[in-house]
Amino acid sequence: MRTRAIQLVLALMLATGGCSQVFVQSDFDPSANFTALRTYAWFAAEQPKSGDVRVDNPLLDARVRAAVENALNSRGFMKTDANPDFFLIYHAAVSREIEVTTTSTPIYPPALYGWHYVAPPVWVERKVPYVYDKGSLIVDVIDANNEKLMWRGSIQAELDKYATPQERGTRLDAAVKKMMAQFPPEPAKK
């Protein structure tokens, strides 16, 4: 009985881990003029290095840049090499996370059949850890005129270590598209 309950809890945890949510956030400078933005370029400086080989690799760099460019191009922005309206730069990280779930399992003591007495179950709590990698991606939009941060979008999600490169690319594209839908920010209502 106990092993069946533990198997059910583990199956539920694995099922929910496979369909983890993507958390998207954005922030912006309210004094920035977003209406004049039409063209972009990647910031000429080298991408910041994290020291993590899972993040600092050319395959991920190409995927991130392609996802951001596709999202921007679909919204009418154009990449240019000369005099862009804004620059892009991104930051990526992977962190190890642990979630602990508490489960309660009933243990039934032996019954006293001579007296027809059945004791109530004793509930035993168990803590089940779930360890996973969480990926974070931050995209910064920098004003080309003064090199000040105008907008920042971020994504956080559980990484699926069993995903194929195509699945990772598709998931990244969808998450970046969701994030870039918040750029440019809605003008303040007066």
Q: What is the mean pLDDT of residues 158-183?
A: 92
- Structural contact between residues 101 and 127, judged by C-beta atoms closer than 8 angstroms: yes
What domains can be seen in the chain, in order of their start residue? 2-9+20-180 (3.30.160)
pLDDT, mean of residues 162-174: 91
pLDDT of residue 117: 57
Nearest to 131 by CA among 172, 105, 159: 159
pLDDT in tens, 120-162: 778 889 898 989 999 999 999 999 999 999 999 999 999 998 9
14-41: average pLDDT: 80
Q: What's residue 15's pLDDT?
A: 37
Contact between 156 and 136 (Cβ < 8 Å): yes
- pTM for the whole structure: 0.74
- Segment 161-174 mean pLDDT: 91
Alpha carbons within 13 angstroms on the beta-carbon side of residue 10 total: 6
CB 144 within 8 A of CB 86: yes
Span 102-118, pLDDT tens digits? 988 888 776 665 555 56
pLDDT of residue 3: 39
Q: Provide the pLDDT for residue 84.
A: 95
Mean pLDDT of 65-75: 95
Helix, strand, coil shares of the chain, percent, nearest 5, are 25, 35, 35
Q: Residue 122: its pLDDT value, please?
A: 81
Least confident of 62-71, 101-110, 144-153, 166-175: 101-110
**How open is the CA angle 60-53-164, to the nearest 5 degrees?**
45
> With contact defined as beta carbons under 8 Å apart, do 91 and 48 qualify?
yes
